[in-house]
Amino acid sequence: MSSEWPLWEIFIRGQHGLNHRHVGSLHAPDAEMAIRNARDVYTRRNEGVSIWVVPSNSISASSPSDKGPLFEPANSKVYRHPTFFDIPEEIGHM
């Protein structure tokens, strides 16, 4: 039965002010039931204050085989990290 229901990706916001985070996926016939099911499957230990559901087939993903060209060029560019500034002492921890 569940294989006939479409797959949904579930995002839960743990606390006010934090971002929704991807927690997993589940099956449901529509968005309303996906939210109910997400409530029962993913928030039973008091994990959340807000739920987003997204049809899994609406997500476009980068291809794992493109990993080299997409991400490796960033490896050798330490100057892109803002670590070369001297922070005045009175600013304290940033």
Partner 1 sequence: MSGALEAVDRAVFAEWLQRIGDNVLILGHRVSEWCGHGPALEEDIALSNQALDLIGQCQLWLGLAAEVEGKGRTADALAFLRDAGAFRNLLLVERPNGDFGQTLMRQFLFDAFHIELLRALKASSDPRVAEIAAKAEKEVAYHLERSADLVVRLGDGTTESHARMQKALDLLFPYTGEMFADDATDRAMAEAGIAVLPSSLKAGWDRTIADVLAEATLTHPGEVWQHGVKGTGGKTGVHSEYLGFILAEMQFLQRAYPGASW
Residue 31 lies near partner 1 (rule: CB under 8 A): no
Residue 36 binds partner 1, judged by CB under 8 A: yes
Give how far Cα 27 sits from Cα of 6, 42, 53, Å: 6, 13, 11
**Residue 25 Cβ, how far from partner 1 at the closest point, in Å?**
11
| Residue 41 contacts partner 1 per CB under 8 A | yes
Closest distance of CB 90 from partner 1, Å: 50
What CA–CA distance (Å, rounded) separates 93 from 3?
Answer: 51
Does the protein bind partner 1 through residue 12 (CB under 8 A)? Answer: no
Measured CA to CA, the distance from residue 11 to residue 24 in angstroms comes to 8
